[in-house]
Structure 1
Amino acid sequence: MDFPPYPSGLRLAGRRVVVVGGGHVAQRRIPALIAAGADVEVVSPEVTPAIEGLLGSGEIRWTARGFTAADLDGAWYVVCATSDAAVNEAVSVAADERRVFCVRSDDALAATAWTPAVGRHGDVTVAVLGNRDPRRSAELRDGIVAELREGSLVARQHRDRVAGVTLVGGGPGDPELVSVAGRKALMDADVVVADRLAPRELLSDLPADVELIDVAKLPRGRSAQQEEINRVIVEQALAGRSVVRFKGGDNFVFGRGYEEVLACRAAGVPVTVIPGLTSPVAVPGIAGIPVTHRGVAHEFTVISGHLPPGHPESLTSWPAVAGLAGTVVLMMAVENAPAIATALLDGGRPADTPVAVVCDGTMPTERTVLATLGTLGARLAEEAVKPPAIIVVGEVVRVAHPEAF
């Protein structure tokens, strides 16, 4: 009767493991043994250059001769990886006599242990045994690890979870563009504090026991003050919970993320940052517009347009911006775009300077409105452009859309 294997996780740190054979099969098996902390001894007349390199770094020991049964004295585990069937059988016999589990590369049925296809994600180890079919095992392992990394398969850590705050940038809006680390942090959280521009589809994937706090920050509408957001994330973390502050774009590019960092630090709350794709670069890129191009633009400047030129609280020197030759990328500027265009024209930018307005970047409703500095205000009105939108000013728009200019 062909019984299934009994899976077990071996803890080999500091324990003697013998690898018989020094070829490419052994070369593939040894690194995982080293990573497990095993005391690895290779027994073989010859070894590959890669194995010899491990010897030089002191990570393994090498007995440069043929196998003898006494080589297995004191061993906890044996990997038999020679091309000689007689040697492999001798290793199996010696291992059985010493009650040491032995993996054989040549004959799985004659072995007392099988090597699974192993993958790791964070502190999770995935080991798959596909009934002596290594290709099938590897495919299953890769699929499981991929889903863990993407957050499709959730393996939440329920013990020893660290209370604190993680700031996660969600990117420009498409849930596929959030980072692997960001998605994992969301799935591992106790509390998610999210605003309107965070990729909303990801919120439906949260485990049922995750508390969602909506601090939707709507332009000119219902708004949670930053001080209240700071209070909420600090309060939740001090209550012993793992908190994710989830927002669109990048935390530190006009996202007020560092204010949240300072609030956490002031309260003694551990805080980490997982950046998101930066919208002023990612959105034009996805829309087919480079923010720099050889021989066209050697710099790009990202500006918040939430205040118009001339506003007493504005920190932007619009005459200096107008004097730049490169690309200007405007965020949160739909309302003030006509005034900004006037300031750039007054500062010397030509009226025929190409402009692209990328609306709802990366979302199903994405569209690009083309204009010039001279026509920008009229085009925004004609096309009924609403936030969010990224406005790109400069010759790179002509490079991307030569037919329009």
Structure 2
Amino acid sequence: MCTIAMPGHAGAVDPAGAGLQGPATIVVMDGSGSMWGQIDGRPKLEIARETVAAVLEGVDPARALGLIAYGHRRKGDCADIELLVPPAPGTAGAIRQAVDGMRFLGKTPLSAAVHQAAEALRYTEDAATVVLVTDGLETCAADPCALGAELEAAGVDFTTHVIGFGLTKEEGAGVACLADATGGRYLEASDAATLATALAETVAAAPPPEAPARTHFPGAVMMPDIALEPTGQTVGPNAEAPAELPFPPDGTIARCAASCEGDRLCAAWRYEPKGSYFVDHARCFRFAYGTEMDMRSFDPSEGWASGMKPDAELLIRPYTAAEAMSGTVPVVIRIAAPHAGLPVGWSAVPLGGQAAEAVAMPEAITGDWQTMLEPGAWQVEGEAPTGARFTGRIEVSAADGGAAQVFDLPQSRGPTLETDGMGEDAAAPAGGAAPR
């Protein structure tokens, strides 16, 4: 049987400690006697040799490749594991020559070989993938299932795929757990063609390109009429959040800004004036250096403001002093009595292929939700702590003279506040909410 180990990212090293940059592959070739077994009249070792050689032809020559063999020197020795070709670019020819010269004599220290390959690739420091191609089961008193759990727990991003070469369903189950434990796949190979396909999919295929890093932008120490809004994503490593501080009901923008300026953990702040979202007091929110931000513009008459320290780059789009409300329309979402006093968390998702981004409240509010939406169709949803939900499809018009468009949202499901039918699901609305 043979095992093929491949790291997913840069940073793999050979056992001698030489650092390798970029994708690297270690082929762990089984030299045990079970490889003399036949498929379609041909020894499995011949099929494996030819298939590995063919797969190597399809691998990018710039990729670092290496070879480990076990069971190829001595009979009955579970410690017979050897690095034959250190991983490096341009070693495909050396690997083919080494495999062709192997003898198939010994036992199958399958688990120890996979573990050694993982260690050679520094799996506890770098993402790594192992592709195990086996024609039989472990013969050295080790548990592949336990090994999978151990590697998954210790690895940074460790995955094992298993290819069963001529295994029965029952035999396959004995090694498929190694893939299951690490989030990998189990694939069956019953002949040369299916073995070649499985190897090509797991070894010769180019690694997926890394997602481009998202660009983030700085803000300004003072951003009048702007509300910074967390996206729910993070920027860089985890950062400790600043402590929540009491803020007086009549607190000012200057006081909110000063509370952040004097706190090393605070990267940005948002001031919400009294009366915003129908809250009868001013509020100040402070954010950590790892909090990714978008921003929303408000009319200068409302008194909103935000700020970001000079060393913080958290915005998903650039901020300029000319940030304005162009392209958006003031919208009010409300629910009718008897639910009007409920705190509700709101969100709005654009429909019909709009390029606009979804909008959500950072916390539940009591009363109407006032927000800015681009013209078009939106799916609006609100949820109260009681379990009551309010949903509807709204159409925001571009031509409304600048006046706020008001939409009433019906209850879609959850407990009502009426005596009759308390706790039963409310019927879904027949249609979307209508503007008033």
- Whether the TM-score (by the shorter chain) exceeds 0.5 is no
Scaled by the length of structure 1, what TM-score is found?
A: 0.34
Higher helix share: 1
- Which TM-score applies when normalising by structure 2? 0.32
